[in-house]
Structure 1
Amino acid sequence: MPGKCDPAVGKSALAQMFRNDGAHFQKNYTLTTGIELLVKAISVPETSDSVEFFIFDSAGKDLFSEMLEKLWEQPNVLCLVYDVTNEQSFNNCAKWLEKLRAQAVGMHIPGVLVGNKTDLVGRRVVEQKQAQEWADKHGLEYCETSVKEMKNFEAPFNILAKSFHQLYKEKVETFHSLA
C-alpha cells in the first residue's frame, strides 16, 4: 500500500501511530529520507477476517524515485494524506493520484484521502466539504484525523481494510465463476 503525499503533512506520524496502536506521538518527527516498510495485521470491520498491511512510507519529495516505481508496480490500496492547514499539500494530491493511476492503468485501486492536523482549527484552510467533494469525484473515501490528539487515526486503515477485503472477495467470486 503506497502512502503518498507531501513532506511534513503527518503521514509518517499517522503510520507509526497506527502501527503502535496509539502508543506514542513523536513531536520532533524526522522527515522520512527513504522508504520505510511498516507491517501490521488488523481485523476487517464487520467480518471475522483480517488483512496484513505492508505500508510503504516514502518521503513526499520522492515523486519520481526509481525505487518507488518498483514498489508501485502492483499496489492494492492507496492512502493520500494532506495537511488541512496547507492548501498546496491538498492540491498536490491530484498529482500523486495521477501518478499512481498512470502506473496502474486499468486497475481499480481503492483508496482514502486523509485530512490530517484537524487540531489546528484556527489555521485550517482546506474545508471538509471541499476535500469530501474532491474525494468523491475521484472515487476515494474521505476522513479526517489529528494524529497529535490521537483522534481517528485508525479510521483510514479500517476504510482501506474494508476496501481491500471487498476487492479480494470480488476476485475470489470471479475466480469461482470461471472454474
Structure 2
Amino acid sequence: MSDSEDDANEKQVKIVILGDGSAGKTSISERFSKDAFNRDYNQTLGIDYYLKRINLTHSYNVTLAVNDVGGQTLGGDMLDKYIYGADIVLLVYDITNLQSFENLEDWYSTVMKYCAGRKPLFALVGNKSDLEHLRAVKAEKHHQFAKDHDMLAFFVSAKTGESIESLFRQVTANLMHIVLPKSDTDARSVITATIVRQEPQNSIPIKPKSTQSNATRTSICSLQ
C-alpha cells in the first residue's frame, strides 16, 4: 500500500474520559498510552491529553486523541470545551466506591446537555476489577445502567492492565462499524503518545504532535 493510500485510511477519534476523581481515569489513560501504572494518586486539574495510534485492522489506522478530564470539573466553565466534538465518551467509576457510580448520572446528563443533538458513543467502565473482593456495586447494576443509557459496558483494571487495550479497541471499532476478531481485541500495536496538561482557565486543549519517542506527562461501603 502506498503512503497516500495509507493516509486515506487514517482516521482520528476523540475520546473523552469522565467520572469522579480517584475513579482511575488517569491510570486508565496511562496504562493504555504507556502501559504504565502509577500507584500514587495525582489529581488531574483541567485535562490531560494523550495521542496513540493503533492499527485497528491490517489496513486501517486510527489515531486516538484521549482527553482525561479532571473529576473536579463537573459543572465547571470549561467542561463544555473539553466535551466538544467527542466521538466517544467513557464514563468511569470505581467498583469499590458506590458514590462514584451513582454520580455517573450527573456526568451523563452534562454530556447530553453539551452535545446539542450529536450524541457520542458512550461506554460504561467499571475500574479496579482487581479489587473484586471489595466490590460495592453489583455487576447487575452496572449492566442495567449501561442498558438504560444505551452504552457499551466494560470492567477493567488499570493496575493490572486487564481489558484496557480491549476497551479502547472495541469502542473505536464499534464507532466505525468494524467487527474485530476475538483474537484481535487485545492486540498491542502501539505508537507512543505525547501528553499535554491544560489548566481549567485555558481554552480548548492544544493538539499535541504524535511522536515515536516514549510518552511523557506534563504536569467501601457495603454492597448495594
Normalising by structure 2, we get a TM-score of 0.69
Structure 1 unaligned spans of 5+: 168-179
State the 1:47 CA deviation. Answer: 6.4
1:166 paired with 2:177, answer yes
Whether the 8 Å CA contact 2:87–2:120 is kept in 1: the answer is yes
1:11 paired with 2:25, answer yes
Q: Which moved more, 1:61-70 or 1:1-10?
A: 61-70
- State the partner residue of 1:64: 75
Whether the 8 Å CA contact 1:51–1:165 is kept in 2: the answer is no
Specify the structure having the higher radius of gyration (Cα).
2
Whether the 8 Å CA contact 2:45–2:72 is kept in 1: the answer is no
Other structure's SS at 1:142 match: strand
> What's the Cα RMSD here?
1.6
Q: 1:125 aligns with which of 136, 144, 159?
A: 136
1:89-115 deviation per Cα after TM superposition (whole angstroms, max 9, x unaligned): 011111111100111132131121110
Q: Structure 2 CA distance, aligned partners of 1:86 and 1:65?
A: 23
Identity percentage over the alignment?
Answer: 28
State the 1:66 CA deviation. Answer: 2.2
Q: Structure 1 CA distance, aligned partners of 2:163 and 2:173?
A: 16
- State the partner residue of 1:35: 47
State the 1:87 CA deviation. Answer: 0.7
Question: When you count helix as a share of all residues, which structure comes out higher?
Answer: 1
- State the partner residue of 2:112: 101
Q: Structure 1 CA distance, aligned partners of 2:142 and 2:131?
A: 16
Q: Structure 2 CA distance, aligned partners of 1:100 and 1:47?
A: 33
Whether the 8 Å CA contact 2:69–2:82 is kept in 1: the answer is no
1:144 paired with 2:155, answer yes
